[in-house]
Each structure stands twice: as structure tokens, then as C-alpha cells.
Amino acid sequence: SQQGEEDPQALSIQEGENATMNCSYKTSINNLQWYRQNSGRGLVHLILIRSNEREKHSGRLRVTLDTSKKSSSLLITASRAADTASYFCATDNSQGGSEKLVFGKGTKLTVNP
């Protein structure tokens, strides 16, 4: 069953602008991860944020997590054409010790040069 839902489904921006993608989920989680997928390639892990963390940074990436709203956001600052990709959030399920990671539908980001 789908756990995460990203919005927007598609986002087109100019190089240098910031891109914000949101993810909402339904059940309690232990961790939330963000992945990037370039066309025709596998997924690349970006950031893992634990349920007791509120914000995490990695280079130009900033992830926030609000467990009360069951939502997360991924901010990419000063975007580049190379950031063009699909971005997925993925969550586990804290109930029942789930070993599964469930991916949201993804946001397709296009950064125009």
C-alpha cells in the first residue's frame, strides 16, 4: 500500500531558483528517506531523517520532518540543471517492526538552464 504522497507531481524551475517538494504519509514512522532518480538510472539515497529529528542538511539539501502533521519537505537551494530528476520520499512503518521501505509517487523536477 502507498505510504508517502509527494506534491507537486511535477515542478519546473529556472537554474538558481530553489525547489521545494513535499511528502505526506499515513502511518507512524521510524525514519523517512529521500531518494533521487535520474532518467533510466537507479535511485540514489539523499538523506535519512529519523522520527525524533526535525531538520537535516546535506550540502544544498534541507529536509524537514513534522511527525504531528505526518509530512516532510525537501528543499534544494540554488538549483542546477543537473538536479533534473525524479525525487521520491520513502518511509518505513513503526508498527509491527516493518522491514519494508515504501516509496511515494514522486516529484519530477525539471531545472531549466
Is 84 a binding residue for another protein by CB under 8 A? The answer is no
Is 100 a binding residue for another protein by CB under 8 A? The answer is yes
Residue span binding another protein (CB under 8 A) among the ranges 20-28, 57-65, 72-80, 96-104: 96-104
Is 61 a binding residue for another protein by CB under 8 A? The answer is no
Q: Kindly tell me which of 19 and 46 has the beta carbon lying closer to another protein.
A: 46
Report in angstroms how near the CB of residue 86 gets to another protein at its nearest.
Answer: 9
What is the spatial distance between Cα 79 and Cα 97, in angstroms, rounded to a whole number?
37
Is 103 a binding residue for another protein by CB under 8 A? The answer is yes
Residue span binding another protein (CB under 8 A) among the ranges 13-21, 27-35, 64-72, 74-82: 27-35
Is 56 a binding residue for another protein by CB under 8 A? The answer is no
DSSP string, the chain: ----EEE-SEEEEETTS-EEEEEE-SS--SEEEEEEE-TTS-EEEEEEEETT--EEEETTEEEEEETTTTEEEEEE-S--GGG-EEEEEEE--TTTT----EE---EEEEEE-
Is 85 a binding residue for another protein by CB under 8 A? The answer is no
